Structure 1
């Protein structure tokens, strides 16, 4: 009887998690699939044929692939290079630089786009200096070039964090053996180090590509007519004139199929090249000569400086005086006063809503990771697979799916009317950011030997007591690491929130975006600075809790 009770605890938790995914993930996606496939209650591929029969839509999709692939390539090169220098060589300021790298990554992408317009736009500060003082020709930051620039500087930190973590798993004896056999410099990098990093590079490249492919804020602000797929989906859904929710649903399904295809290809290639590494003697950063040190400092500090330059300039502009929508000479705290007076609720929502979502994320991640590792069967495998779907589905698509599924208005299904509530914001954030904590928790639990739990049970500890008092504490490094990544991505979330928010649930990222569109650059800069401070505080808290001087994925 006691054994049956223990079994029911895990069966019950599996059932609750599965039902939650059915309601808040599968059902919304099935709803938009139905809306895309049925016209006047009859099955039809009309919307899909309309997409594939017009070059306008296909060119837009091709544009998204161009900027996403190019941005991914540059991000992988830059992120991997920086991780290599951080792991292999000694130089000062690594902890400080890591915080700057996180700051560069965790701000909303469209904020970077807006900052680069202020810096390198037609009337930008740097543009005016280059043209008026140095006689440079007009710089064109808009369109393809600008989008790729923002994607690269925004997303290379994700590659850096993944690869820096992988370097810790490489045994130093492997590199020493390669060097003793005459493999040095670039030869060792391409023939030894990069093959060892291949699974990590593929995982990082997938994450970067998905983030770039699903971002609509950057191309909308800096694209200037360079159409991308997420912008098309967003405008088709919300446009008051000519908007078509059913056609937008068809576009959303196409986006899901593309993302799923790329994910499966990446998973196949990664499994083909997968292997395990155990680092008995981790790589020790070595001292370098003067010329090498100068090059490393120039490259590392230069790259990171350029990446955080938009944030630095935003902080500066937040203290400038404003007259209406225009910056005027002099400094003032007026932008902050306006931000707190007009957007105080948005600041509170940015803490309150993601914090509640984080509680859900941590609880679900603990149980799902345990079920996936210790209770592996067909049912728990399905749950683990479902948990990865939000990882590959663009945020705009999830937003459309939630509105379509949980709206009782025109075109809604009438089931579980939560559109426009804080609850739908919490659920959307939790569902979308849960995969980060699950993956890191699974990685952490996989390193815990089951014999430890068996020993506790043999001494009379119940299964549940062992789980909460022994297993969970041993999983804690992975839980905390995943939770901080989920948290910082939740507070900078835009693509789903821009569709789901209302006046009571507006977050800082939505407020920044709307203020930029209105031309209130001072308030937008002040809110961006507050968001950056919140991000830095979260990172420093994570470092203190984990007692770590570095952050890796």
Structure 2
């Protein structure tokens, strides 16, 4: 949108160029370094690293394993998430607001925390395992391997499908549903022929994010895989073991991940465009009071799924107050020793860093998110179009790949940022900014340009109009995206575990380190702090925004 008398090069063009330069530096440049290291050896093009990967079963089988885990986990997440969204939107469920918080929290906590919690429940010596062994006189071997990985990922990921589909149903015009009913369609036909096609674009977007989240996670397979190696685990072990001698092969594996991620991203975009529908919810879908067996079944299904999804967080909180012997064997006695350990002198660095880095990163995310969304919608041109595309790259590229690319790009001249606080904040900001950008873009699209035009016609400058008129009207969408950015960035592990040093460790890194060292008491205490932070953040968001749920 260009106003009369507006110069071609102005403050908006300058901001676009600055933001574009930042994304070129912190997204394209690191990716370029990966490509160079994977393709060039001694200044010449060499495909030997790619040949090595695809010619040895030891390497490429991990890619097959990842696809098996990812596809099955994504499908199971859809089978759980879609019915949950429909039930909570169409049927009045008692305590639905509280249930919604539990569902969101079960997604926002790092997957490896869920893996650790399920080991406490269904491991070889887990609480539920011992009960089942005693009742049925069997010897269960625990939740390890392929089945365990899929279980953890499915329960951790279905809330994302739930949020996307629930958000789509919130904007669905119920008059379409009523029209189908008047034409003789039963409940099943209305769901499959009316509601499902309308929410399909949102479902596809959610499936892409679930796919990339599962495909890129290495914490869960590392903890409960027990020999079932996935691609991220192989990438992590290769990088950590070979970064000093053969970083070209690690870079090659990163490039393979990027190509796969981009491929699925564009497939999702094409399918989303093909099945996109435009509608206005003149009569939004409202939850109705159910009767009889339908009410009982709906409540049982929603409560049971929510309980199972929240069980890892409940387990972590309870075990954080149970004493341990040498950190790994729980005594069964309630105590505050675990918290005394993590709050003892020298152990609070991770906690302090998490909040400090998180607050600094969220400021960057909000400022850049508002500017990028405004430029993309109101100042459309080639530059803003390129900027909008670049902002999506961190959305789909795995965090471990981003972390490795940052080390390659900024661990030597001319950019010496490795091991610094700055690189941690930049990585967190870049990784989680897309949440705020997408939600801000959606809200500004609903603001009529005539409001800004009226302000300018009354003598206000474009900058003043933006700051005093547009930004305040954008706040609901900005807050929604910012809370997602905040909670996910304080829970970020994939990039942090690659980039951190002893001075820049975060809560997720501390939790992961304690789990690997079998210090389960300390890990539970750290995890509880992270979980409670997420819950408090959500409650503050609901209070400030007046919203009753967090849908995407």
- Please tell me the TM-score bracket, short chain as reference: over 0.9
1:338 aligns with 2:341: yes
Which residue in 2 is equivalent to 1:487?
486
Write the distance in 2 (CA, Å) between the matches of 1:243 and 1:97: 50
Which residue in 1 is equivalent to 2:326?
324
Which moves more between the two structures, 49-58 or 245-254? 49-58
Q: Number of residue pairs matched?
A: 547
Write the distance in 1 (CA, Å) between the matches of 2:7 and 2:355: 38
Write the distance in 1 (CA, Å) between the matches of 2:482 and 2:501: 26
Which residue in 1 is equivalent to 2:420?
421
Contact 1:405–1:415, Cα closer than 8 Å, also in 2: no
Write the distance in 2 (CA, Å) between the matches of 1:415 and 1:456: 46
Please state how far the C-alpha of 1:144 moved relative to its aligned partner: 1.0
Which moves more between the two structures, 354-363 or 4-13? 4-13
2:160 alignment partner, one of 158, 171, 174: 158
Write the distance in 2 (CA, Å) between the matches of 1:42 and 1:304: 55
Which residue in 2 is equivalent to 1:411?
none
Please state how far the C-alpha of 1:504 moved relative to its aligned partner: 1.0
Write the distance in 2 (CA, Å) between the matches of 1:378 and 1:536: 41
Which residue in 1 is equivalent to 2:267?
265
Deviations 1:199-254 (A, max 9, x none): 01000000110100010000000111111111111111001699731101000000
Deviations 1:236-278 (A, max 9, x none): 1001699731101000000000000010011001101112121
TM-score, scaled to structure 2: 0.97
Alignment of 1:126-275 (within 5 A): 126-239=128-241, 244-275=246-277
Which residue in 2 is equivalent to 1:532?
531
Please state how far the C-alpha of 1:545 moved relative to its aligned partner: 1.2
Which residue in 1 is equivalent to 2:98?
96
2:140 counterpart SS class: coil
Contact 2:242–2:250, Cα closer than 8 Å, also in 1: no
Alignment of 1:118-133 (within 5 A): 118-133=120-135
1:52 counterpart SS class: helix
Write the distance in 1 (CA, Å) between the matches of 2:435 and 2:502: 29
Which residue in 2 is equivalent to 1:509?
508
TM-score, scaled to structure 1: 0.97
1:354 aligns with 2:358: yes
Write the distance in 1 (CA, Å) between the matches of 2:395 and 2:86: 27
1:79 alignment partner, one of 81, 90, 101: 81
Deviations 1:135-162 (A, max 9, x none): 3451541111111111111111111111
Please state how far the C-alpha of 1:319 moved relative to its aligned partner: 0.6
Q: Which runs of 5+ in 1 are unaligned?
A: 409-413
Which residue in 1 is equivalent to 2:391?
387
Write the distance in 2 (CA, Å) between the matches of 1:182 and 1:243: 69
Please state how far the C-alpha of 1:290 moved relative to its aligned partner: 2.2
1:405 alignment partner, one of 406, 409, 412: 409
Write the distance in 2 (CA, Å) between the matches of 1:240 and 1:21: 28
Which residue in 2 is equivalent to 1:497?
496
Please state how far the C-alpha of 1:323 moved relative to its aligned partner: 2.1
Contact 2:65–2:229, Cα closer than 8 Å, also in 1: yes
Write the distance in 2 (CA, Å) between the matches of 1:327 and 1:415: 50
Aligned residues: CA RMSD = 1.4
2:415 counterpart SS class: coil
Contact 2:124–2:141, Cα closer than 8 Å, also in 1: yes
1:123 counterpart SS class: coil
Contact 1:236–1:243, Cα closer than 8 Å, also in 2: no
Alignment of 1:440-479 (within 5 A): 440-479=439-478
Contact 2:129–2:142, Cα closer than 8 Å, also in 1: no
1:239 counterpart SS class: helix
Which moves more between the two structures, 534-543 or 318-327? 318-327
Write the distance in 1 (CA, Å) between the matches of 2:78 and 2:101: 19
Write the distance in 2 (CA, Å) between the matches of 1:246 and 1:294: 58
Alignment of 1:48-59 (within 5 A): 48-59=50-61
Contact 1:236–1:242, Cα closer than 8 Å, also in 2: no
Contact 2:492–2:508, Cα closer than 8 Å, also in 1: yes
Which residue in 2 is equivalent to 1:9?
11
Q: Which runs of 5+ in 2 are unaligned?
A: none
Contact 2:243–2:250, Cα closer than 8 Å, also in 1: no
Write the distance in 2 (CA, Å) between the matches of 1:541 and 1:290: 36
